[in-house]
Structure 1
Amino acid sequence: MMIDLTTTITKEFLEWMENSPNNKHVNTGHVGTHLDTYKKSSIPLEYFKTKGVVIDVEKIANLREITVKDVIEVEIPPNGFVLFYTGRINEFEYGSEQYFANHPQLSHELLDYLLKKKICFIGIDCAGVRRGEEHQAADELCELNGCYVIENLCNLQKLIDKKFEIYTMWLDNPRATGLPCKVLAEII
């Protein structure tokens, strides 16, 4: 069974973004489900298909940072895709002020832990793995370690306690630092 993890963007939302003061997000690719690549590194084609694991942090994501202790017992697949289900995209509509405000985030120690595992992707169902000025720095740290952050995913709750593979497709763009993605999970 295939599950689409890509957040749908309406034409109206895209038009609103293009006409807002924040339209730089549209021009640089940071709308909807996208992969952050601030350093413009070359993403290996082997990343197209990875084994995935969902970590359910919905009960704690709005209370505190997600830490290593929340994932220490999870088997992280080598060269895998680690997805964090925070429930944010189910709680607030994508694009709403509430969706972006004070969204869940991963601790710095957790990011270091995951990068040592040599994974391909970190995915999350909110606006990023860190907030504010730390957002881009966290994405760059991941990218410099061969791992890419994919934001604004949906339907992650459908993968909890399941075995699955992820198919990630991105569109290269020499100028954009956010590459639109189509992300699909196949339950095996």
Structure 2
Amino acid sequence: MQKTQTRNLAITALFVALFLLQTFVPNIGYIRILPALPAITTVPLTVAVYSLLMGPKAGTLFGLFWGLMRLFQAYTQPGDMVSLMLFQNVFIAIVPSVFAGLLPGLIGRIFAKKSTQAREVSYVLAGAATSLANTIFVILLTSLFFMDRSTQLLGYMGNFNQGTPLILALVIALGMNGLIEAVFTAVLTPLIVTPLKKMLRRLQ
């Protein structure tokens, strides 16, 4: 029991360190393509891998940590006005991150006793689900909280008429980022998780 707890603590410390590098070192965790819009993030990959290795409960806590760091960044070093407006809202910062941490662990648990091939497919699904959950919840919560004050947000997003429905503008502006993140995370998650799980089994 103590050996397992020590191993889990070491894994968590490693992933927290990696996450902090992604958060604070430019162009590692957040890659900015369009200056006016939120950056494409590689953080969902780290969240998906950790949740698949450690389970849904630990994944949820890691997602909560991501959300709190998002909130902290929005107040201390926002990269653009859209991120500042969105992620200074505690719900938009935290809720998508928590669900993004929960889902891969749940998917991994559902497929844990399936065949090797099924498990590897589940890693692809878990990776995609992590990024898509984050993007979809950000879009939905932003639409809800900015329903009555969408004009200013649309102005910062650029290239949208003031009459454009906010949710449509968000899907267009953030959806492409979300799809790129989902493909990136879905492809790399099984490539990382599969050998790590084999290594952890040997250490048990």
Higher Cα radius of gyration: 2
Same fold (TM over 0.5): no
More strand by share: 1
Q: Relative contact order (C-alpha < 8 Å, sep 6+): which is higher?
A: 1
